[in-house]
Each structure stands twice: as structure tokens, then as C-alpha cells.
Amino acid sequence: MEIIVSEIPPEGLVIDCSRDETWFQRQATEETLSRFAVEGIGFHCAIERAGRQVSISGNMEIRCRASCARCLEPFSMVIRNGFFYAMSPAMGRLGFEREQELREDELEIGLYDNDRIDMEPIFTEQVFLQIPIRTVCHEGCRGLCPVCGANLNRTDCGHESTAKIDSPFAVLKHYRVSRKRS
């Protein structure tokens, strides 16, 4: 998708668009695809122009299925994020007043050529910035039993207490007690 800068009306432009699973798969690494299955991505962008300076203020929603890093179960999640880009013409950059008003971590600065802004690199950058390295199905996920591999969210296999006794602190406690007695 391309925006023609000189054609942005004084009241600005609003873009609503979506990208599908295929779009995501074409760009994702195998490692990401092994953890993530995207169901759909939606973008909502408000584009404004002041002279040749363009601001893009957007919101994104990624609906996906991920596998939990602890219990390995698949689960659904929605990732939402906002972004802001200040775009200047590559030739004769004039500066952008709003840069000073925004916190640095909220602002991306870009350049455009030939009166056109390609939205695709922005969409790609925002999606892949938001894919987490590690996901858990919920904060309290108890994961898998290290002994038998049972999903501890669903069953209590009884191995958990054994694992606690085997900890180094338990061994130390036992050693002190036996030393006193001898």
C-alpha cells in the first residue's frame, strides 16, 4: 500500500486494512512460525500532513495462536500496540516540530522519496517488533512435571513433592540433623 503525500487532504487520511496468515508466513522465520500461527492482523492508521512532513499514528491488533513455553499447550492471544512515525522527504529534510513533544521511545523517524510513502515496511516492522520471544498461556501456568511430563495445570501426578525433597537445601538440612545426633 502506498500513500501519495501531495494527495493527503487537509483533514488527513484514515486507513483501515488487514493482513492475513499468508502475508505473515511469507516474512516470518521458521522459528517464529514454529511458535506462532497468525489468524489475522488489523491496522488502523491516521495520516496527517503539514507541508511535506507526514505523521502516521497507528494501532495494530494481531490475533494469533501460540504455544506456551511452560506447558507447550496451544492458546489464543491478541497482541495490541500503538505506533507513531514522523516521515520527512529524503531530500531537504525540514525537521519535524512534533518530534520534541513526543517521548523518544514512541517515535520512529522515516524518510520518503518521490512523494510516496510505502506502508508495507511500516506494517512489517510493527508486526515483527511485537512478536514476543517467549509466551506463556497464563502467568500462573505450572508447566510440565520434570519427572513424568504431565501437564500440571490439569493433573497432580504427585511428583512435585519429590522434586522439593531432592533440592540442595533439603539435603543440607538432612546433613545438619544427622551430624548433631552422632
Residue ranges in contact with Zn ion by CB under 5 A? 68, 70-71, 137, 141, 145, 147-148, 150, 157, 159
Name which of 147 and 172 has its Cβ closer to Zn ion: 147
Minimum distance from residue 31 beta carbon to Zn ion (Å) = 19
Question: CA–CA separation, 32 vs 36, rounded Å?
Answer: 6
| Beta strand segments in the chain, E | 2-4, 13-19, 36-50, 53-67, 74-89, 107-112, 116-118
Residue type, 146: P
At 139 the three-state DSSP class reads: coil
Minimum distance from residue 36 beta carbon to Zn ion (Å) = 15
Helix (H) or strand (E) holding 178: helix 168-181
Name which of 60 and 71 has its Cβ closer to Zn ion: 71
Minimum distance from residue 39 beta carbon to Zn ion (Å) = 19
Name which of 121 and 158 has its Cβ closer to Zn ion: 158
Minimum distance from residue 29 beta carbon to Zn ion (Å) = 23
